[in-house]
Amino acid sequence: MKSVNNPLKVSIRYSRLKDAPRFFAILSNPNFKYLSVSVKTLKDEEKWLRACPSQRRKNIEWNYAILGAGRVIGAVGIKINRARAHIGEIGYFLEEQYWGQGLTTRAVKLIEREAFTKLGVSRLEIVMRPENRGSEKVAIKNNYQKEGLLRKLDKDKQGKLRDFWLYAKIRK
């Protein structure tokens, strides 16, 4: 693990089809217990990435790779609320070897700037399972406000409906 005194430089850019093998490898980690998304095959990942440009054009989803020192180490994205386009929901994941160095916190800062300055979003939400303390801390460290518990919001990987904390930030 790299020293936190000398953290990797984090940047984000739109996800590309060629990111598929890295995303697939990162997402195949069995320790990603609280992520609702599960990708079964590399082909599924490629299909998903192929749709990203059209999802952007339609203002449905804005997905980015997280780069650490130029290498893909995770992803961060925003889903635009279909009924209220001023609301976006941020999601993220990072390769396990980089956890605990503040890298996702920084990636969220970067995507938040995109959302508030370029995407016309004025409310950003982050939801996470209460057990997912690392994800909750990413929201807290970025000054998102806890708004409450969304009961039975989404299914876990086993298909069971679970409660999630709702955190949100408003554009100033």
Ligand X SMILES: CC(C)(COP(=O)(O)OP(=O)(O)OC[C@H]1O[C@@H](n2cnc3c(N)ncnc32)[C@H](O)[C@@H]1OP(=O)(O)O)[C@@H](O)C(=O)NCCC(=O)NCCS
x/- mask, ligand X, residues 27-46, rule CB under 6 A, reads -----x-xx-----------
Give yes or no for residue 64 binding ligand X (CB under 6 A). Answer: no
Quote the least distance from Cβ 97 to ligand X, whole Å. Answer: 10
Residue nearest to ligand X (CB): 134
H runs (alpha helix) in the chain = 20-27, 42-50, 52-57, 103-118, 133-141
Q: What's the first-to-final CA gap in the chain, in angstroms?
A: 36
The binder of ligand X chosen from 134, 145, 155, 163 (CB under 6 A): 134
Taking the C-alpha atoms of residue 118 and residue 107, their distance in angstroms, rounded to an integer, is 16
Give yes or no for residue 122 binding ligand X (CB under 6 A). Answer: no
Give yes or no for residue 132 binding ligand X (CB under 6 A). Answer: yes
- Helices then strands, each counted (H, E), the chain: 5, 7
Give yes or no for residue 166 binding ligand X (CB under 6 A). Answer: no
From residue 61, alpha-carbon distances to 8, 57, 141 in Å are: 27, 9, 24
Give yes or no for residue 102 binding ligand X (CB under 6 A). Answer: yes
DSSP per residue over 102-136, as a string?
A: SHHHHHHHHHHHHHHHHS---EEEEEE-TT-HHHH
Give yes or no for residue 111 binding ligand X (CB under 6 A). Answer: no
Quote the least distance from Cβ 123 to ligand X, whole Å. Answer: 18
Q: 160 with 117: CB under 8 angstroms?
A: no
Give yes or no for residue 105 binding ligand X (CB under 6 A). Answer: yes
The binder of ligand X chosen from 101, 115, 166, 167 (CB under 6 A): 101
Q: Footprint of ligand X on this chain (CB under 6 A)?
A: 32, 34-35, 92-94, 99-105, 128, 132-135, 137-138
